[in-house]
């Protein structure tokens, strides 16, 4: 009985983690915010090329999106070009997050009988 409960709790924790980390437009929008912060930090420190660990995250994120952002980005690791492409992706993600939120309709309970 206790073993079954422990397994059920572990399964529920796993699915809760899956929901939090799923590549939804909202989560991807949060990731672009974090990455743009890192790119701006590179700009402030006058780093000409994006560091590799940030670059990998950027390429991974842009690869998840529908647009041809990885083609727009190319192999140019400059701060300006990377920020430009991230802003373009963020614009599309804002629209997608808004439409994704609207598409989720809840059950409407009629208050009055017609």
Give per-residue pLDDT as tens, 54-82: 999 999 999 888 778 888 888 888 999 99
Angle between helices 52-64 and 79-103 (to 10 degrees): 40
Query: pTM higher than 0.85 for the full model?
Result: no
Q: Alpha helix locations (H) across 45-78?
A: 52-64, 69-73
Classify residue 6: in a domain, yes or no: no
Classify residue 13: in a domain, yes or no: no
Residue 42's CB is within 10 A of a number of other CB atoms, namely: 20
Residue ranges making up the domain that contains 48: 21-96
Classify residue 39: in a domain, yes or no: yes
- Across 59-91, b (16+ Cβ under 10 Å) vs e yields bebbeebeeebbeebeeebebeebbebbebbbe
Q: What is the DSSP letter of 77?
A: -
Classify residue 103: in a domain, yes or no: no
Give per-residue pLDDT as tens, 78-112: 999 999 999 999 988 888 888 766 655 667 677 77
């Amino acid at each position: 009985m206790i073993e079954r409960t422990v397994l059920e709790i572990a399964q529920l924790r796993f699915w809760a983690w899956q929901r939090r980390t799923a590549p939804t437009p909202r989560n991807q929008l949060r990731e672009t915010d974090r990455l743009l912060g890192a790119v701006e930090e590179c700009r402030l420190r006058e780093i000409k090329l994006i560091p590799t660990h940030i670059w990998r995250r950027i390429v991974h994120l842009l690869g998840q999106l529908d647009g041809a952002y990885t083609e727009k980005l190319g192999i140019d690791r400059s701060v300006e070009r990377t920020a430009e492409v991230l802003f373009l992706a963020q614009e599309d993600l804002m629209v997608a997050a808004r439409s994704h939120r609207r598409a989720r309709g809840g059950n409407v309970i009629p208050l009055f009988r017609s």
